[in-house]
Chains A and B, each alone.
Chain A
């Protein structure tokens, strides 16, 4: 009876494992595809699927030989020689002077051309063209070949987007937006949360219910009025309406309801005796807050920090409305969206830019997952 129970359980577990494995693969494959692609050679990336990245591909290409200026006379013979490739790696299989018949000669064989000259092409791209009469052509002769191309991975794509496409600059811009937009709301919210939890004042309940209501107010409700306030302030002082402080404050305003709500619930659940005995000993609220409550609230502060950091880093809408699109203000998400429009087919640029934009959140996320999950769960699970 017991053995039967175990058997059924283990069968269930095997089935669970398979099903879960399938789902996990489904979930990570798109990201893996992006990651792999960002390191691939851009020509390979454009014509073959990322899943072939590790396999050697066969490619049909052509190169031009040297011209008459390259020839050297050796006794009776005139010779043009050289190498088709700058770097090693490609292995030529077959070649021909006509693209219709690529397998005419194997690499290493010598082809005899109509004019009687002899052309030898080796697997590594070395060629030798020997003729009894001087060469006269001004353009190199085209030689078609089939080559095996080994997989190549490099950081070239990253180098290009960081410098030439300005993604490096927008990375700095994003940092410049994100750090204050995370720190400022958490400071403001922790003071407010303390007041809501441990201070007595008229209207406390009403104000906190308002905060709960504001939790779900869509951002869209704020955009139009704020844009006109910003424009008026900008006009009045003769400065640009789009500025870093402007977006810090916007993120502060939008992040505050959740911050106050989470922190108040946490700070409010600290043991009453601790705070009351400190009051008895004559500690001021400021002292209790900074010396007792803040150190005890580190887990809640950390989880909100991660929330806000991820939210601000990943935000597009607020950045589009409150920041400019010039190089000195454009953030990563905004840049990425622009590249999607202008470089829609250049996957080497898109994949590497996208990866640069998601790497920091991923690191933060995996390093601090515990706090993040704890914050989510306390906000959602009813005891």
Chain B
């Protein structure tokens, strides 16, 4: 390499002409002059404080004081971990007594996604409730079709979060015992948007009081608003060291690319976790944090910020767009530029899009294949979860087998076990991760049970 300070003929460094003279700062002076930009300090909290950008949670506390709403708190019993968000603000992530707010896309076609999450929780003795009294957030349909509106979305948000608050009563536990954990990125973004609109609009709150009142879902006549809207990937992030302790498969040879989900970190960006220990806090921490902690190599690529191409309606009715985008701007870049072994995501729509839209690349003669998994599926896999019974990798269209080969997992044998196990399942002897009687907390099918565990 040539000396950067060497000047070659024809290359002048002469300022504005003959009057130029060197300021001749010493190397130390030069370094000192820009040292301020190199300091890794408490910078985001210092520079973008709440005088500059509004924190909707402050509006919540005020409305609670005014007696308009009740805030469902992340309390000590939820054993919260404090994290920092984009501007250095605090966010409380509950780690136990969690109410699973499932994702329809995950449950519908990537069932290994929630299963892996629940399996990890079982490994770590995390208390949770998975029940039938919940709806989709309805935001996929809304963003895709335009059917729905701010009132319907807000009402669904308030209804589901109210159910999370009262579900514990079925077990004879106090209200607020369980804290909602949102599985879907679309729901996570949507619920935070709705919370923000609710805090800003007295009119919307008034409408909601009427509707939620009709459903019997007010608390002391007030709307119930969660202190934090929490995504499962945030839970996984704060639990990453605990998870890594349970890792049984070496994954240091794995080159992982991360696909961060737009509705997770771009929507309400001030609420996304940035962690100094994860890429110096310059990229959203979830997924990257757990993958690094598990020991994989996280590889950057030039289209990291791009969306997956899901498009809500595009994946159904504008498929050329979705598959072109997924292949050309994500999968092919990860394979050819980053030489990735896997792409890891943390949202329903992205995983579906990136996983399912690879086969069609054969059509233009440039086939591309890259295993696509959710962060919690990868974590479960390397912690010894069964690749089919738990990770349910057979629902993935992408070549998860190549990843398992590289991890040294004998997937053919595991698959044969699973196919054998299907006979037990067909005979009604399937295994479950929790007592199925707990899944109904009221209405048809409800039977009163004692307190858990």
The answer on A and B forming one complex is no
